């Protein structure tokens, strides 16, 4: 402790002590809600107990119960585990606790609602604080603890946790130099799905001014479609599918049953999984419908996808090679892909294998096309909409511009070994500089540095820097409606 430069901040629950690291004040493991164990298990989040004196905030807090990613993804997506019960905690990086009125970015991690935490090194918030933004990263309940659907417990508990974290930010962030009226909420993958749901619920109104959706589209299931995973886990354990029954099951046994039911498959080809639920209370309708019909129309929105999202799941598992023409045809029938759409994708990718063609179609069907439809629906809204595409291909395992690759660029953490597991050792720092700066500028001013979405449908392409923009001038690569023939072919009446 003697060689640590301390930093302190006073929250509503008590004083926390962090540390100054390379000129940035860092606070880790601050509880924003009470530990969801014992009598609180499967309940909505409750306020944390206040404490006397000074609470140490030097180490990441406990992570929600989870298992590592299954091989071979575990080597590409390191997922630290911190033991303990106080899973509902957050971390704060700030330029200074003596500052005031700084923009705030709240990060909600991805992981299919089964994996991930705020302790993942790729999400280190130091660079954001270095550049004048207070970065807050959040843990929330995962799997059946956070998203299992029961008749005797509130639905969407993990989403309720995220709301509680945002409410904590509203109440406490000024003590860390942040402005509660300049909050941007951002997330990737399942985190982006969560952010979209937050945009769609009235409960979140006023908690943030801007939002970022990275590689995740608005989605939620009807209750009858969401019960299956919970029922299968309960059946495996031989107990009723109720919160009361499962609360009596040891956490490790529950986690083992959850892993057995949800293993296999991937987010694009499907599996037993946990999803947000249209519960009639927190979410009274599908978030995609809500956002397309004007919900959160005054919130500035930055969103986009990676060019080859599918390669994270298809390539390491060997799925790309296992998909032949017959499996491709069956998958197109399952997804309901129009014949005209399939023909366009084939024509645009004459050298693609059946597995690569299916991956491109699934990526756009589930991610890129829904986000473009949302951007189209927001033309003329009070809040501006900005769209990006990340296209830099990693040399690691032929993964290309795959899912999650952009994270190290957004957070400017390319030097960390865990980031390099996906990017390799020679990822271009100039691309990280450009992408990180866009996120900083969006959180600070609402303008990431390229034209907002309109009838021309401009997209900022993050790939090889130094290319010309759409109007032929030097500057960031802005592409007008890239691969628009593909996107328009998905449109339904």
Helix (H, G, I), strand (E, B) or coil at 225: helix
> Facing residues of 54 across strands?
15
How many Å apart are CA 420 and CA 418, to the nearest integer?
Answer: 5
Listed in sequence order, the residues at least 6 apart from 307 whose beta carbon sits closer than 8 Å to its beta carbon are 389, 390, 391, 400, 401
Using CA atoms, how far apart are residues 268 and 273, in angstroms rounded to an integer?
12
Per 3-state DSSP, the chain is made up of helix, strand and coil in percentages (nearest 5) of 35, 15, 45
For the question of residue 309 being annotated catalytic, the response is: yes
Active site residue 416: no
Q: End-to-end CA distance of the chain, in Å?
A: 64
Contacts of 309 (CB under 8 A, 6+ apart): 215, 268, 363, 367, 402, 403
DSSP character string of 303-359: EEEETTTTHHHHTTTTHHHH--HHHHHHHHHHHT--HHHHHHHHHH-TT--HHHHHH
Candidate list 109, 115, 403, 436, residue with the active-site label: 403
How many CB atoms within 10 Å of residue 202? 11
Write the DSSP string, 161-216.
HHHHHHHHHHHHGGGGTEEEEEEEEEEETHHHHHHHHHHH-GGGTTS-SEEEEES-
CA distance 214 to 435: 12
Active-site choice (86, 145, 188, 309): 309
Pairing of β 300-306 and β 102-108: unpaired
Catalytic site residue from 118, 189, 273, 469: 189
Compute how many other C-beta atoms are within 10 angstroms of the C-beta atom of residue 33: 25
- 403 flagged as catalytic: yes
Residues designated as active site: 189, 309, 403
């Amino acid at each position: 402790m003697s060689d640590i430069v301390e930093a302190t901040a006073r929250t509503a629950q008590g004083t926390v002590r962090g540390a100054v690291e390379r000129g940035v004040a860092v606070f880790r493991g601050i509880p924003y809600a009470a530990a969801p164990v014992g009598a609180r298990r499967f309940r909505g989040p409750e306020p944390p107990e206040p404490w006397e004196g000074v609470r140490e905030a030097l180490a990441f807090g406990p992570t929600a119960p989870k298992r590592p990613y299954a091989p071979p993804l575990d080597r590409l997506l390191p997922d630290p585990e911190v033991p303990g019960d106080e899973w509902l905690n957050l971390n704060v990086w700030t330029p200074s606790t003596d500052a005031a009125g700084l923009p705030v970015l709240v990060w909600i991690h991805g992981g299919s609602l089964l994996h991930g935490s705020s302790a993942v090194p790729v999400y280190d918030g130091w660079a954001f604080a270095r550049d004048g933004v207070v970065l807050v990263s959040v843990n929330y309940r995962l799997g059946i603890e956070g998203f299992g659907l029961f008749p005797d417990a509130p639905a969407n508990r993990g989403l309720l946790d995220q709301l509680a974290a945002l409410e904590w930010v509203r109440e406490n962030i000024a003590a860390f130099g942040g402005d509660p009226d300049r909050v941007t909420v951002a997330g990737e993958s399942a985190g982006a799905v969560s952010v979209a749901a937050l945009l769609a619920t009235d409960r979140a109104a006023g908690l943030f001014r801007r939002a970022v959706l990275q590689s995740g589209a608005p989605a939620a299931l009807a209750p009858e479609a969401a019960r299956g995973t919970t029922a299968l886990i309960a059946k495996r354990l031989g107990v009723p599918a109720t919160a009361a029954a499962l609360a009596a099951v040891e956490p490790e046994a529950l986690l083992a049953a959850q892993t057995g039911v949800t293993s296999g498959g991937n987010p694009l080809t499907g599996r037993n999984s946990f999803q947000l639920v249209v519960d009639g209370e927190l979410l009274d309708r599908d978030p995609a419908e809500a956002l397309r019909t004007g919900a959160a129309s005054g919130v500035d929105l930055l969103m986009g996808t990676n060019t080859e999202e599918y390669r994270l799941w298809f390539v390491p598992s060997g799925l790309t090679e296992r998909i032949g023409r017959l499996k491709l045809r069956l998958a197109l029938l399952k997804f309901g892909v129009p014949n005209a759409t399939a023909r366009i994708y084939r024509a645009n990718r004459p050298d693609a294998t059946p597995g690569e063609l299916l991956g491109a179609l699934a990526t756009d069907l589930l991610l890129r096309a829904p986000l473009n439809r949302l951007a189209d629906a927001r033309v003329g809204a009070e809040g501006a909409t900005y769209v990006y595409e990340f296209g830099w291909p990693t040399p690691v395992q032929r993964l290309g511009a795959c899912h999650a690759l952009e994270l190290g660029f957004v957070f400017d953490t390319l030097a960390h070994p865990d980031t390099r597991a996906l990017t390799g050792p020679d990822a271009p720092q100039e691309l990280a500089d450009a992408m990180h700066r866009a996120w900083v500028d969006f959180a600070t001013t609402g303008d990431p540095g390229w034209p907002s979405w309109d009838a021309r449908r401009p997209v900022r392409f993050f790939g090889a820097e130094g290319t010309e923009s759409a109007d032929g001038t030097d500057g960031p690569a802005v592409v007008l409606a890239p691969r628009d023939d593909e996107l328009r072919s998905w449109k339904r009446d």
